Amino acid sequence: MSNKQTLVVIGNGMVGQNFLVSLMASDIKDNYEVVTFCEETLPAYDRVHLSEYFAGKSADDLSLMEAGFFEDNNITIHIGDKASIIDRSNKTVTSEKGVEIAYDKLVLATGSRAFVPPIPGHDRKGCIAYRTIDDLDEMMSAAKTSKVGAVVGGGLLGLEAAKALQDLNLKTHVVQFSPRLMAAQLDAGGAGLLASKIEDLGISVLTGKNTIQIVDGDTCKHKMIFADGGELEADMILYSAGIRPRDELANASGLKIADRSGVVINDNCLTSDEDIYAIGECASWNDQTFGLVAPGYAMARTVVDHLTGGNETFKGANMSTKLKLNGVDVASIGDAHASTPGSLVYTYQNGVDGIYKRLVVSQDNKLLLGAVLVGDASGYPTLSQYYLNRIELPTNPDSLILPSRSDESVGLGPDALPASAQICSCFDVTKGDICTSIEGGCTTLGALKDETKASTGCGGCAALLKSVLNCELEKAGFDVNTDICEHFAYTRQDLYNLVKVEEIKTFAELIAKHGSGKGCEICKQAVGSILASYWNEYILKDAHVGVQDTNDTFLANMQKDGTYSVVPRMTGGEVTPEGLIAIGQIAKKYGLYTKVTGGQRVDLFGARVDQLPPIWQELIDAGFESGHAYGKSLRTVKSCVGSTWCRFGVDDSVGLAVKLENRYKGLRAPHKIKFAVSGCTRECAEAQSKDIGIIAVEGGWNLYVCGNGGMKPRHGDLFATNLDKETLIKYIDRVLTFYVQTADRMQRTSVWMENMEGGLDYLKSVVIDDKLEICNQLETQMQRVVDTYQCEWKTTIADESKLKRFRTFVNSDKHDENIIFIEERGQIRPANIEERELALAEEA
């Protein structure tokens, strides 16, 4: 018999799950037998990023569940089963499927439902709420037979839903009841500008429209009839006109419900029953409900604390928001409507660039009460910090929204923030928490994120987190020295620019002009790589050979015994029988070990340095080229068999992979680059784990960027969808050249992206919107590399003077007698040290 109490959680949405995770991380996790009811067919997923489902994210990607979470923590979950009765006198919960559980403690986390206006015709087929993954599946299937879509509701969610409809290729309208968009957050000026920006995206905006009926349409499936007599036809209608707390179960069990709906809770998140808590969107605190995830997480923490006997309380929440609509920046902080008595307002409007900013400050001009930003939300992090931490404003508060006309920065340095300043509101991480982790040794962004979870939610705090990190490191006397090494007081990016601007062609010239000493393996390799990326000259030229790493010097990978491996290119993993036979014969002739690599090609191991040229001569004669397995350069473009053979294939993935590999082969970069192309979303080529991943879909090709496997795997980010080949190649040209120009040495695209201020959105703005106006230059640079490609092995074999280098000894034809092979499974392997000593002793 266990003396555990039973704790039941109703609802496994974002907040219910967050509660379970916090509970399992607490000291009291073993005090309870935990059971949870999950009405949906999937356990908790990330509703905040729901719209990314349309952009290609799968239910799996959105899942909030770590594998094995329920099993490992002994939690019983009833999936697809809804709790239907709470019997408070007997303390039991009964579900629709008939499960009955006696509880000691009960947590309600039933969330909200989308509000559907109760007008005639609201439940016609194809009229859908926008809340769950099931809703999205329904939308996707309805979209197949639809041309026009309408979204009822022009708030934050409605606009996001409109973008989703547009991504489904529907002509899209937003129908808003009130006279302006985002009425809860924006003032008239901001809303007007937003409406014009939304229209620029190709979405039509109808405001002040009260829908009174939906009937059969003439040209579309439905017709919406408005109170003012107007009409709008659409094939599909989405409701996103607000949310209503799901308090029906609580209500039926007699718990106190707020006048404006929601289960009433106190500061400990307890309902009117002292064994029942309510958290998340279903709860009403001080007559307020919260339609954001962060307050729900704060409530979840409060309950765990209360269960452990602590006295943390829920104190309300910051309802500031930032809209993540492609191309349109909108943010609203605090009292945007200036409804605080005596408040003062500053407004900046720039009709030319489409920017609107408004500050609401206290009567004494000292505190920020609210703000609205449209068209340029870059000031959001700074303003939020002024607002949240009640930091005194500068003498001229308007300097915070006026464009800076000089170099003077009006940003709030991270140093000015108190330790209590909340940096990440999703996970309630303060500057103090971050400093503690930094002192504890988390000195990289990645480590900080792992340790504190900061910036792993909505991502809105990433830039701030980074500046806090840098500032703290600097203060701690850490060298945030970005010098590449003692020989150059420059970053890799600086060196790249010097090479480019001053047209420097050799390491000797660069170090003479801008460095000191002789160089070392760090700067030599980095500069060698920069020169190769930019000029793409033959890397074994006399001026370059001394700065190459061993593998590049010998155009092969050195193995543990000093021999080399040989990897011929097999574009897209495709190889003819003749090619395979030739490789087999060459391997046999030189006694090499052969293995199929993880990169879809064949590697030949155990070649002595003097054997490399003749082996390559034979490979080249058989039609092969260097595979650059030795370079920080393009490695492989993996492919699946694609539409040519596969019954599911949507397009010719092998063909595209071959084309791409031929285009980018030889491109040298800060680190190695890998691609893959899959012929359909089954993703047999594992494209989403590559620096550049491409998947064929009905409308074209979807592009993923900055993924990798290896030591710290990272899922690629969906970058653009439904591309034709030409645009796809353009985007890849730009992403890769931008990477080559701006990454640190030995930085894979994944880390590059994670450290980039503004992250994915910024990269998109550079590559897709040409924000920096460099796309032309990026493409030209890539084209130069493509045009100057040469097979380094072909060039080497043709040059007698280069072949001199491929000798074991300058003064003897003997071989290194330390290289000894043992036979295993029918092939050679290097002898281990004992075997080697034994063999050498026998010889002597």
Residues that bind ligand FES (CB under 6 A): 424-426, 454-461
Query: Whole-angstrom distance between the N-terminal and C-terminal Cα of the chain?
Result: 74
Looking at the Cβ atoms of 111 and 572, the one nearer to ligand FAD is: 111
Interface residue with ligand FAD among 7, 8, 9, 15 (CB under 6 A) is: 15
H or E element: which one contains 445?
helix 445-452
DSSP assignment of 237-303 = EEE-S-EEE--HHHHHTT--B-TTSSEEE-TT-B-SSTTEEE-GGGEEETTB---SHHHHHHHHHHH
Looking at the Cβ atoms of 49 and 807, the one nearer to other proteins is: 807
Q: Does residue 806 belong to the site contacting other proteins (CB under 8 A)?
A: no
H or E element: which one contains 621?
helix 612-621
Q: Does residue 257 belong to the site contacting ligand FAD (CB under 6 A)?
A: no
The span of 182-190, 262-270, 723-731, 805-813 binding other proteins (CB under 8 A) equals 805-813
Radius of gyration of the chain (CA): 31
Task: Check if the beta carbon of residue 224 is closer than 8 Å to that of residue 124.
Answer: no
Q: Does residue 242 belong to the site contacting ligand FAD (CB under 6 A)?
A: no
H or E element: which one contains 606?
strand 602-607
In the list ligand SRM, other proteins, ligand FAD, none, the entry touching 739 (Cβ below 5 to 8 angstroms by class) is none
Q: To the nearest 10°, the Cα dihedral for 532, 538, 543, 547?
A: 50
**Nearest distance, CB of residue 400 and ligand FAD, angstroms:** 24
d(CA 117, CA 228): 17
In the list other proteins, ligand FAD, ligand SRM, none, the entry touching 109 (Cβ below 5 to 8 angstroms by class) is ligand FAD
Task: Check if the beta carbon of residue 665 is closer than 8 Å to that of residue 637.
Answer: no
d(CA 722, CA 692): 15
In the list ligand FES, other proteins, ligand SRM, none, the entry touching 553 (Cβ below 5 to 8 angstroms by class) is other proteins
Looking at the Cβ atoms of 131 and 180, the one nearer to ligand FAD is: 131
The backbone torsions φ and ψ at residue 628, rounded to the nearest 5 degrees and listed phi first, read 50, 30
In the list ligand FAD, other proteins, ligand SRM, none, the entry touching 779 (Cβ below 5 to 8 angstroms by class) is none
Looking at the Cβ atoms of 12 and 557, the one nearer to other proteins is: 557
Q: Output DSSP code: residue 45.
A: B
DSSP assignment of 775-819 = HHHHHHHHHHHHHT---HHHHHHT-HHHHTTS-SBTTB----TT-
DSSP assignment of 473-511 = HHHTT------SBTTBSS-HHHHHHHHHHTT---HHHHH
Q: Does residue 513 belong to the site contacting other proteins (CB under 8 A)?
A: no
Q: Does residue 584 belong to the site contacting other proteins (CB under 8 A)?
A: no
d(CA 217, CA 232): 9
Name every residue whose Cβ is closer than 8 Å to that of residue 566 and which is 6 or more positions away in sequence: 556, 592, 603, 604, 605, 607, 612, 615, 616, 619
In the list ligand FAD, ligand FES, other proteins, none, the entry touching 131 (Cβ below 5 to 8 angstroms by class) is ligand FAD
d(CA 591, CA 583): 12
Task: Check if the beta carbon of residue 587 is closer than 8 Å to that of residue 604.
Answer: yes
In the list other proteins, ligand SRM, ligand FAD, none, the entry touching 810 (Cβ below 5 to 8 angstroms by class) is other proteins
In the list other proteins, ligand SRM, ligand FES, none, the entry touching 708 (Cβ below 5 to 8 angstroms by class) is ligand SRM
Interface residue with ligand FAD among 11, 519, 649, 666 (CB under 6 A) is: 11
- Interface positions with ligand SRM (CB under 6 A): 557, 559, 565, 567, 595, 597-599, 601, 603, 629, 635-636, 672, 674, 708-711, 748
Looking at the Cβ atoms of 240 and 525, the one nearer to ligand FAD is: 240
Looking at the Cβ atoms of 11 and 716, the one nearer to ligand FAD is: 11
Candidates 153, 107, 136, 160; CA nearest to 280 is 107
Q: Looking up tokens 């063999």, which residue turns up?
A: 839
d(CA 234, CA 217): 8
In the list ligand FES, other proteins, ligand FAD, none, the entry touching 455 (Cβ below 5 to 8 angstroms by class) is ligand FES
Write the interaction track for other proteins spanning residues 463-502; mark x where CB under 8 A is met and - where it is not: -----------------------xx---------------
Interface residue with ligand FAD among 111, 149, 190, 572 (CB under 6 A) is: 111
Interface residue with ligand FAD among 16, 666, 679, 707 (CB under 6 A) is: 16
Positions in 37-56 near ligand FAD (CB under 6 A): 37-40, 47-48, 50-51
Per the structure block, which two tokens stand in for 122? 């609201």
Positions in 263-322 near ligand FAD (CB under 6 A): 280-281, 291-294, 296
**Nearest distance, CB of residue 462 and ligand FES, angstroms:** 7
In the list ligand FAD, ligand FES, ligand SRM, none, the entry touching 10 (Cβ below 5 to 8 angstroms by class) is ligand FAD
Q: How far is CA 832 from CA 284, 560, 822, 835, in A?
A: 70, 10, 9, 5
CB atoms within 10 A of CB 559: 15
Task: Check if the beta carbon of residue 238 is closer than 8 Å to that of residue 139.
Answer: yes
Q: Output DSSP code: residue 689.
A: G
Q: Does residue 249 belong to the site contacting ligand FAD (CB under 6 A)?
A: yes
**Nearest distance, CB of residue 836 and other proteins, angstroms:** 8
In the list ligand SRM, ligand FES, other proteins, none, the entry touching 458 (Cβ below 5 to 8 angstroms by class) is ligand FES
**Nearest distance, CB of residue 553 and ligand SRM, angstroms:** 14
Looking at the Cβ atoms of 429 and 732, the one nearer to ligand SRM is: 732
d(CA 124, CA 646): 40
Q: Does residue 769 belong to the site contacting other proteins (CB under 8 A)?
A: no
Q: Does residue 206 belong to the site contacting other proteins (CB under 8 A)?
A: no
Q: Does residue 28 belong to the site contacting ligand FAD (CB under 6 A)?
A: no
Looking at the Cβ atoms of 40 and 552, the one nearer to ligand FAD is: 40
DSSP percent split of the chain into helix, strand, coil, nearest 5: 35, 25, 45
Q: Does residue 83 belong to the site contacting ligand FAD (CB under 6 A)?
A: yes
Please, what's the b/e burial string for 731-759 (b: 16 or more CB within 10 A of its CB; e: otherwise)?
A: bbbbbbbbbbbbbbbebbbbbbbbbbeeb
With 0-12 / 13-18 / 19 or more C-beta atoms within 10 angstroms meaning exposed / middle / buried, residue 413 is exposed
The backbone torsions φ and ψ at residue 589, rounded to the nearest 5 degrees and listed phi first, read -60, -40
Interface residue with other proteins among 477, 812, 824, 826 (CB under 8 A) is: 812
Check residue 754 and give left, alpha or beta (phi > 0: left; psi -120 to 50: alpha). Answer: alpha
Q: Does residue 578 belong to the site contacting other proteins (CB under 8 A)?
A: no
Measured from each CB, the residue nearest to ligand SRM is 710
Q: Does residue 804 belong to the site contacting other proteins (CB under 8 A)?
A: yes
Interface residue with other proteins among 505, 805, 829, 835 (CB under 8 A) is: 805
Q: How far is CA 498 from CA 534, 535, 667, 777, in A?
A: 11, 13, 20, 16
In the list ligand SRM, ligand FAD, ligand FES, none, the entry touching 457 (Cβ below 5 to 8 angstroms by class) is ligand FES
Write the interaction track for other proteins spanning residues 529-568; mark x where CB under 8 A is met and - where it is not: -------------x--xxxxxxx-xx---x-xxx------
Positions in 157-186 near ligand FAD (CB under 6 A): 157, 160
Binding site for ligand FAD (CB under 6 A): 10-11, 13-16, 37-40, 47-48, 50-51, 82-83, 109-112, 130-131, 157, 160, 246, 249, 280-281, 291-294, 296, 458
Interface residues toward other proteins, by CB under 8 A: 486-487, 508, 517-521, 523-525, 542, 545-551, 553-554, 558, 560-562, 609, 804-805, 807-812, 814, 816, 818-819, 833
